[in-house]
């Protein structure tokens, strides 16, 4: 395990200590949980952004190569698919 030291305003430290005491935890436990959640959230964000960039690039390549579907045709295909999925039970 490693130690971390950082500065925080005194009133914030006091409020934090009171808040964690109310839920029967200590500050270290809460900060470790926060750090784990932050690391996971940052990883998910990076993965999503990589996926998004990849798919936007694929879409742009399809447009550049002329592999597109006219809007009206796409709307008709979507309506037909929706109808099949719902089976007329709306």
Full residue range of the structural domain in which residue 17 is found = 10-86
Residue 3 lies in a domain: no
Q: Is residue 2 part of a domain?
A: no
> How far is residue 16 CA from its own chain's centroid?
27
Q: What is the pLDDT of residue 89?
A: 67
Which of the pair, 77 or 87, is modelled with greater confidence? 77
Whether residue 78 lies inside any domain: the answer is yes
Total count of domains within the chain: 1
pLDDT over threshold 90, residue 1: no
pLDDT at 87: 86
User: Is 17 among the domain residues?
Assistant: yes
Examine residue 54 and state whether it is found in any structural domain, yes or no.
Answer: yes
Least confident range from 10-14, 53-57, 66-70, 75-79: namely 66-70
pLDDT > 90? residue 37: yes
Segment 28-39 shows an average pLDDT of 96
Rg for the chain, CA atoms, rounded: 25
The conformation of residue 68, written as its DSSP 8-state character, comes to: -
Domain annotation covers residue 1: no
């Amino acid at each position: 395990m490693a130690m971390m030291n950082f500065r925080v305003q005194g009133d914030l430290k006091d409020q934090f200590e009171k808040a964690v005491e109310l839920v029967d935890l200590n500050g270290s436990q809460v900060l470790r949980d926060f750090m784990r959640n932050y690391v996971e959230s940052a990883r998910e964000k990076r993965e999503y952004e990589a996926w998004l960039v990849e798919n936007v690039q694929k879409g742009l390549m399809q447009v550049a190569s002329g592999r597109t579907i006219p809007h009206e045709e796409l709307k008709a295909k979507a309506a037909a698919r929706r109808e099949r999925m719902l089976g007329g039970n709306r």
